[in-house]
Structure 1
Amino acid sequence: MSIPSQIIVNADDIGLKPSVNKAILYCFEQGYINSTSLLTNMDYFNDTVEFIHQNRVIQNIGLHVNFAEGKPVSNFAQTQFLDAEGNWDINKTGKLFTLLNKETKTAFLNEINAQLERALTAKIKIDHIDSHLHLHTLPAFYNLFINVAKYHNLKLRLAQTYREGSYLKFYYRKYINNRIKVLGINHSEYFVTVEEFLKSHTNFSAERKVEIMVHPDFDANGELFDHVDVNSTGDWIAYLTQNDLSQHLVARLPFSTMVKIQEVNNSPN
C-alpha cells in the first residue's frame, strides 16, 4: 500500500494539541498521509518542534497560518481583529468581505512572516503554505499569501476546486486559483475533501496532482478519527487500503465506475 506521487494527502493542524500530533505521526508511520501543515502560534509549538525532530517520518511540512485561534506571534496592533484576551477572533478575521487599509495589510503580512519565521528558526523545513479554516482564500488575505509564497519560494494551497452549489463561490475560487497557477506557486492542480475525492466527479489523471485534506486525531479511547469531519480520515484510510489508486488515476474513470468494475472482477465465476 502506498500513496501515488501525484496525490498529496495533507494532515492539517500538527501543533494543535498532543493527541493530534500523535495521530498525525501514526498516519505517517502507516503510510496513510504524506504531508502535514504546522500551526506555529499555539501553546504546544515548542513540544511539537521537538516531536517533529524526534520523528523524521514526519515530512513535507507546510505552514498552517492561523488567524482563527490562539494569539498572534508578531507585535500585532490591530486589536479590532482580536478578542478581549488578545486571541484571534474568527468572527472578525473570518468575514467574507473585509476592507483592509495599507497599515492593516502590512500588519497581517508581518504576522504571516512571523509565523513562518518561528518555524524556520526552530529548524523546521517549510515547503508549502496554507491556513487554518482556509482564511488565505478570503478576498482580504489571498494576495498577502501569494506575496509570501512568491518571496519565500513556497507552494500555496489552492481554494477548494469543486462546486458546492454556489456558482459565485465556485468562480471566485477559480479566479484566485488561476492567479496562483499562473505564478507557478500552486501546490497541486486540485484541492478537495475526502468526500469529494471519493465521489470522483472530476477524472483525476495521473499527470496532475491532487491535494486531499484530513485532520487526524485520537479520541479519549485512543480511536483514530477526524476532528473536523468525523469520518473523513477513516474513509480515506479505508479507501487507500482497499484500492490501487494508481490504477484508478491512470484509467481516468470515476470512482463509482471503478467500484462496479471491482465488483465484477471480485464476483465468483
Structure 2
Amino acid sequence: MRIIINADDFGREDSRNTAINYSMINGYCSQASIMVNMNDFTDEAVKLSKDNGYQDKVCLHLNLTLGKPLSKKITGTSLCDKNGFFKFNCVNEVLKTLKHNMRLKDILAIREECEAQIKKYLDYGFTQKHIDSHNWIHLHLPVWIALHPLLKKYKFRSIRPIRPNLMKTGRKKLRIYYNIMNFIFKLSKYHVNNYSSNCEEFIDCNKSDNDVYEIFTHPKIVNGILLDCSDSYKGNAYKEMNEVYNELLKYGTVLRYDCLK
C-alpha cells in the first residue's frame, strides 16, 4: 500500500508555516499544499520550502474562501464581501454555490482567480502539478467548471478527489450534491484513484494493499506540541503528528503524488 501524507494550509499563517516546515523536515509529511494568496505568509512558506530542500514536494492549495483574491472580477461574486475579501463558508453554504455562481460571468470570474493562483504557484517555481483546495472548494460545481479547462492548459497531472465521508452526510440534499459531483469528477482524467481522508477515517475505511491513499493533515504547534489539528476528527480531537505518522507506517510506504507516475 502506498500512502501520501499531505500538510494542508501551507502559507496560511506564521504558526502553520513553522509547524508544516518542521513536519516536512522531520518526515512526518511527504508533501504540503500551499495557499498562494496570503501575501507575506505565502512568501515565508515559499522561502522555507526552498531553504530546506522540499520545494518539489509542494502542490497548490486552491483557496477561494480565505484572505484576499489575486484577481478583481471575483470580488463581484457572492464569494467575496463588500471589502473584497473571501467570505464564502463552503461547509455551511455549499448549495449556495449553485444558486449564486452558475451564471457565465461568475464562472469566468472564478476562472480568472483560479488561473491567477495557478500562475503564481508556477511563478514561485513549484513543479508538483497537483491541486487540492481549502474547504474542498474545487469540488463545487461552478468552481469545477471554471477550473477544469485550466488543468489541461497548465498540464496538471492530478487533483485531490472528493472525501468519501462528504458523500455520507446525514443531510439529504448535500449527500445528493456530493455524489453527483463525485460522478462528474470521476469522468475526469485528473482523477487519482485513491482515498482522501484524515488518519482517523483512513483507519476505519476498507483498505486494499494495491491502492494509493492520501491522508490530509493540518500541522500546528500548540503549547509546544506538534499536532494534527484537522477539524474532521471525531469530536475535533487533535492528534500528535508523530503518532499520526507512526500509525500510518503500519499500513504501507509513505510517498508523494509524483512518485505514482
Q: TM-score, normalised by structure 2?
A: 0.80
**CA pair 213-92 structure 1, distance change in 2 beyond 3 A:** closer
Greater RCO, CA 8 A, separation 6+: 2
Tell which deviates more after alignment, 144-153 or 48-57: 144-153
SS of residue matched to 1:141: helix
| SS in structure 2 at match of 1:69 | coil
SS in structure 2 opposite 1:245?
coil
- 1:36-55 to 2 correspondences below 5 Å: 36-43=32-39, 44-55=41-52
What is the letter of the counterpart of residue 192 of structure 1?
Answer: S
Q: 2-side partners of 1:181 and 1:245: how far apart?
A: 26
| Structure 2 match to 1:222 | 224
User: Which of 152, 164, 168 does residue 150 from structure 1 map onto?
Assistant: 152
- 1:84 Cα deviation (Å)? 3.0
The answer to whether structure 1 residue 73 and structure 2 residue 70 are counterparts is yes
Q: Say yes or no: does 1:193 pair with 2:198.
A: yes
1:244 is aligned with what amino acid? Answer: K
The answer to whether the Cα contact below 8 Å between 1:215 and 1:233 also exists between their aligned partners in 2 is: no
CA RMSD of aligned residues (A): 2.6
Q: Which residue of 2 aligns with 1:120?
A: 122
Correspondence for 1:84? 82
**Cα–Cα, structure 1 residues 28 and 47, in superposed 2: closer, same or farther, change >3 Å?**
closer
- Kept in 1, the 8 Å contact 2:75–2:84? The answer is no
Measure how far apart 1:30 and its partner are: 2.4
Helix, strand or coil at the partner of 1:85: coil
Q: In structure 2, how many angstroms separate the alpha carbons of the residues matched to 1:145 and 1:205? A: 31
User: Structure 1 residue runs of 4+, over 6 Å off?
Assistant: none
Number of residue pairs the alignment of both structures matches? 239
Q: CA deviation at 1:70?
A: 0.7
Shift of 1:153: 2.7
The residue type equivalent to 1:102 in the other structure is: L
Q: How far apart in 2 are the matches of 1:148 and 1:232?
A: 36
Tell me how far apart the structure 2 counterparts of residues 89 and 103 of structure 1 sit (CA, whole Å): 19
d(CA) in 2 for partners of 1:232, 1:158: 24
The residue aligned with 2:256 is none
Pair 1:228–1:205, CA change in 2 (3 A): closer
Partner amino acid, structure 1, of 2:61 = H
Residue 148 (structure 1) shift:
2.4
2:186 is aligned to: 181
> Do 2:74 and 2:110's aligned partners in 1 also have CA atoms closer than 8 Å?
no
- Give the CA deviation at 1:245: 1.4
User: What CA distance in whole angstroms lies between the structure 2 residues aligned with 1:109 and 1:233?
Assistant: 36
2:209 counterpart (203, 206, 212) = 206
1:241 and 2:253 correspond: no
Distance between the aligned counterparts of 2:230 and 2:85, measured in 1? 21
Tell me how far 1:226 sits from its aligned partner: 3.0
Equivalent residue for 1:139, pick from 115, 133, 141: 141
Taking a change above 3 Å as real, the CA distance of residues 38 and 239 of structure 1, as seen in their structure-2 partners, is closer
Q: Which amino acid aligns with 1:156?
A: I
Amino acid in structure 1 at the alignment position of 2:95? L
In structure 1, list runs of 5 or more residues that go unmatched.
248-269
